[in-house]
Structure formats: C-alpha cells, structure tokens
Amino acid sequence: MLLFENKNYRDPNISPAGPEPASLSEDIKQRNAELVAQYQASLSGASAQDILAWAAEHAGPTAITLSMENTVLAELGARYFPAADFLFLDTGYHFEDTLLVANAVELRYPDQKLVRATPVLTRAEQDDTYGPNLYQRNPEACCRMRKVEPLQRTLGNYQAWVTGIRRADGPTRAHAPAIELDKAGRLKISPLVTWSLEETERFAEENELIYHPLTKQGYPSIGCATCTLPVAPGQDPRSGRWAGTNKTECGLHT
C-alpha cells in the first residue's frame, strides 16, 4: 500500500479485479501462425487496400482499432473489410474533441459496430483507489489499467485486430510488420505501415474524412489529454506523447 495525503492507496502494480479475457483455441492460434508464416513477407510492402482485402478473406472475427486522431482506418475498413467491428479505447482521459470524433465516426459508418472499451475503474474511482494523478506518478500503471487491459478484455471476442501503426511514426515502429501474431496468438494487422504522416493527411483531405481539430494545432499524435503535448514541425510525430518522460509506448504494441 502507498501512503499519500494521509490515506493508504493500493499499489499501482496491482490492477483492479476485472473479467479475464477469453483465450483463443489452439486451432485458431495455429491457423493464425500459419497465415503469418505464409503471407508476412509478401504483405510487408503491400498497399493498405490489399492488406485489408487479405484480412477480409483470411482473418476471423476482427476489430479495427481507432484512436480517433484520424479516421483513415475507419474509411478503409468500411470499404475493404466491412464485416469488421470498430474498437475505440475510451480511457476516460481523452480530449473532448476525440470523443466528438468517435461520435461522428459512429454516425458516418452505421454499418460498422463501434465497440467502446472502458477501464474497470472510472477516473474518480481510480483516484480514490490509487491516489490522484496516477498518470503523472506512474504512467505505465495508468496505461496498463486504462488501455492495455481494456483492450485485452475486449479482444477476447476477436481472432484478429487491425492497428494504425506506421513505420514512419518513430524508431520503435520503424520495422513494424504488416501482419504478425500478438502475445495471445491473434493476428495483428497494420495496413498503414508504409504510409507517411503526409500520405495519411492527404488521404483524409482527398476523401473529406472526419478530422480531429487538434491535428491542425500541432498534435500529429493524440492520446490522453493529460499526457499529450503539441510538437514542433519536423519533430518525431510521437514526441508529444508522455513528453518529459522516458515513456514512448502505452504498452498496446510492446
């Protein structure tokens, strides 16, 4: 327990109790592994359209994860993988604009189910259990409880998931594959790996997609409002995430 402001708080390394994510069967894990072995090399430089068309043909039930900093994946998913669900991690700490984008996506793409994954604890409950401003004192624990674990629980309903990872986002993603297995044996599919930030923005403009207002205000990568700052032109797009710390990833892709 931690002593903070005369109150004992739970150790942030111990997450609150919540439902355990469903596990994939060994048959599905094996099939996913065979797909990665057969297609990973050939899809490494493929177009986003071809990767999603491949996923629509070969992947089982799939969730397309949307951060809502842009809606490119929503548009591509609706075109090339209409059977997939959309998945939004509602951490409780988002910018208001991010939530408005999520609402607009739900209206624009009514044929896609938008699943909103939420943490076990509300912000107030987390403050009461672990102490206020955990995102400052222990950002790893905060991300684990509000992003990683909600994603794991929600992905229990799927055999594959689609991410918006781009190799150009920074050194931790420079060699990201188009398809791989995650730790649970699910297919992890990243159709935008070869895209640059400029290509992403151009696609959004040419197709008149829903856009996040903060992307026009120096926020090329948008996470929780408490942990995201604008960046200067030419900087690593993700350098505004957890600025002033050694943290570069929330844990979803590590």
Catalytic choice (15, 100, 250, 252) = 250
CA distances from 41 to 34, 38, 52, 165 (A): 13, 8, 15, 17
Query: Are 192 and 168 within 8 A, CB to CB?
Result: no
- The reply, when asked if residue 143 is annotated as ligand binding, is yes
Q: Is residue 31 annotated as involved in ligand binding?
A: no
76 is in an annotated binding site: no
Contacts 24+ apart (CB under 8 A), 139-145: 139/227, 139/242, 139/245, 139/247, 140/247, 140/251, 141/12, 141/13, 142/12, 143/250, 143/251, 144/15, 144/251, 145/12, 145/15, 145/16, 145/119, 145/120, 145/121
The angle formed by the CA atoms of residues 126, 127 and 130, to the nearest 5 degrees, is 75
- Residue 199 annotated to the active site: no
Using CA atoms, how far apart are residues 158 and 23, in angstroms rounded to an integer?
Answer: 10
Instruction: Say whether 247 counts as a known binding-site residue.
Output: no
Quote the CA–CA distance of 163 and 148 in Å, as a whole number: 14
Binding-site entries for [4Fe-4S] cluster = 142-143, 224, 227
Which residues belong to the active site?
250
